[in-house]
Amino acid sequence: MVFVFYPVVDTIYMSFLEKGTGKFVGFENYADVVGRNEFLNVKRLENFLGGPSYGALIHNILWVVIHLPLCVFFGLLLAVLLRDVKGGTIIKSIVFLGMVIPMIIGGVLLRFILDKDAGILNGVLNAIGLGAFTRDWTFYPDTALITAILGSAWIWVGFSMIVYSAGLEGIPVELYEAAKIDGASWWKTFWRITVPMLKPATIVVVTMTLLWELKIFDIVYAVTQGGPGDASKVLAYIMYIDAFQAWNFGTASAIAVILTIMTFGFAAYLVSRMAKS
């Protein structure tokens, strides 16, 4: 309890204090953070000017919007596919490796995959005749963020897959047998039995994935260091730089508070939506 409530309250308190002096400055730290281009690049959003970055806030939202559906979809797909496949258990173990190795090493692996000459992605593109598209994926502002997001899905799908697999095991075989007797097609069985029965698993997958996406740090640190420029900065990353390189605990706390409010906002929205349906 001490390790949760005291720090949370203290972080909120610190977000109102000035760097160095510790003077109470109201919402000045928040104004400082929100006014920055690396946090929210207003010009870019208005008319695609002012540098290629949208700002960390938007990057975090993009992470959720792209990464979450991918992980749910491919996790479910792999779980269903691999249930009946010979060697499925081995494949599952390999896919799940992404969740076992340190996330920071996962990031290093992604950087290797995306490397210009040594990376397998460009190797594959060359091999299938798409050599014109090869590039140093993490070095360009327009691809750094999206490749980091897709790469993080590559790492995280193991999680949703394993949760869905456990969910599948919990579905009584009788349901499928009954559906078979009734002459239901595979597709119909999937939508009428499998998906509804997996709802608890989906809730776990969605909430855990969401919490992970919003505080994403290791991957960005290893793959792009937030660059080039601000192109792939996320809230947790600028918070770390503010705190431990600029040593400004005031603005860093403000970012942490914003990040936490976002987390609760997203979580509350999803939970209420899922409770309804």
Partner 1 sequence: MKKFTIIVHVIAWAAALIWIIPFLGVFMASIRPYTEVQSGWWNFQSFHPTLENFYDAWIGKTAGPSAALSTALVHSLIVTVPATFIPVFVAALAAYSFARFSFRTKDLLFLTLVLLQTIPQQMVILPIYNLMNSLGLLNSYVGLILLHTAFGLPWQILFLRNFFSTLPIEVEEAARVDGASYFKIFYKIVLPMSLPALASILSLQFVWVWNDFFFALTLIQNPNMRLATQTVPVIKGRYEPNWSILSAASIMAMIVPVAIYVALQRYYVRGITAGAVKG
- Residues in 99-118 at the binding interface with partner 1, rule: CB under 8 A: 99-105, 108-109, 111-113, 115, 117-118
Footprint of partner 1 on 187-246 (CB under 8 A): 204-205, 208, 211-212, 214-215, 217-218, 221-222, 225, 235-236, 239-240, 243-244
Stretch that binds partner 1, among 29-37, 58-66, 188-196, 253-261 (CB under 8 A): 253-261
Q: How far apart are CA 265 and CA 263, in angstroms?
A: 5
Q: SS3 breakdown of the chain: % helix, strand, coil, rounded to 5? A: 75, 0, 25
Nearest to partner 1 of 44, 56 (CB atom): 56
DSSP β-bridge partners for residue 24: 17
Asked if 257 is part of the footprint of partner 1 (rule: CB under 8 A), the reply reads: yes
Asked if 253 is part of the footprint of partner 1 (rule: CB under 8 A), the reply reads: yes
Tell which one of 51, 123, 141, 228 touches partner 1 (CB under 8 A): 123
Nearest to partner 1 of 72, 99 (CB atom): 99
Residue 225 neighbours by CB under 8 Å, 6+ apart: none
Asked if 6 is part of the footprint of partner 1 (rule: CB under 8 A), the reply reads: yes
Query: Cβ atoms within 10 A of the Cβ of 81, count?
Result: 13
Q: How far is CA 7 from CA 43, 95, 182, 253, in A?
A: 36, 36, 58, 11
Which amino acid is residue 277, in one-letter code? S
Tell which one of 45, 65, 94, 146 touches partner 1 (CB under 8 A): 94
CA triplet 219, 222, 223: central angle to 5 degrees?
80
Any idea which residue has 């706390």 for tokens?
A: 253
Footprint of partner 1 on 23-82 (CB under 8 A): 78, 81-82
Tell which one of 193, 260, 270, 274 touches partner 1 (CB under 8 A): 260
